[in-house]
Amino acid sequence: MNRVVHPIEMESYRRLRARLDTSHFPPLTRAVVERVIHSAADLEYATDLVMDEGDLEKAHTALHSGTPVVTDVEMVAAGITRRETVCRLRDAKSGPGLTRSAHAIRLAHEQVGPGAIWVIGNAPTALEELLTLDAAPALVIGLPVGFVGAVESKAALRESGLPAVSNVSEKGGSAVASAALNALLYHPIHPSEETS
């Protein structure tokens, strides 16, 4: 993707790198770590995020090959630039033992089938529901925020063995989840190209 990087963003990354050495991270991991930190102005994400470079490489290929991207909420979708997403929250309804967010994940899975990239930044119940489905995801960006269920849902994601980006703490949210996806979206397809 050809993308013009604004001077403010360039300066922000310069300052970030002056405060935190990210050069030891593999390329896609570094891209995700830096973009998440950039979105939250929170250097602690460098040690809080959990991901595998091999999983990111496969997801990067899938993303640039047109794999569907599903989000749990419209705020995550709004943060993902230059890419259409699927979000079924407006169509979802809550019921006994089922939150509206969880129902939206079911609806989205029915729509896109297996192999999608899932970006969850708001609702732990959405991530929990995804883990019950046979979604065979290309990647799950599981960064829901909150004091109830967020840590547990992200731990369950890591224990599932699915290809994932998650974090250990309660932190997360729509901005950091979309930032993680954008890092893969903006990263060049050819390794010889430079990144921001």
Strand partners, 86: 70
Which candidate in 38, 103, 109, 187 is catalytic?
A: 38
Classify residue 146 as left (phi > 0), alpha (psi -120 to 50) or beta.
left
Work out whether strand 139-142 and strand 69-71 pair parallel, antiparallel, or are unpaired. unpaired
Torsion angle defined by CA atoms of residues 101, 103, 105 and 111, in that order, rounded to the nearest 10 degrees: -140
Work out whether strand 49-51 and strand 69-71 pair parallel, antiparallel, or are unpaired. unpaired
| β-sheet with 117-120: strand ranges across | 49-51, 164-167, 139-142, 117-120, 69-71
Catalytic-residue membership of 38: yes
The set of catalytic residues is 38
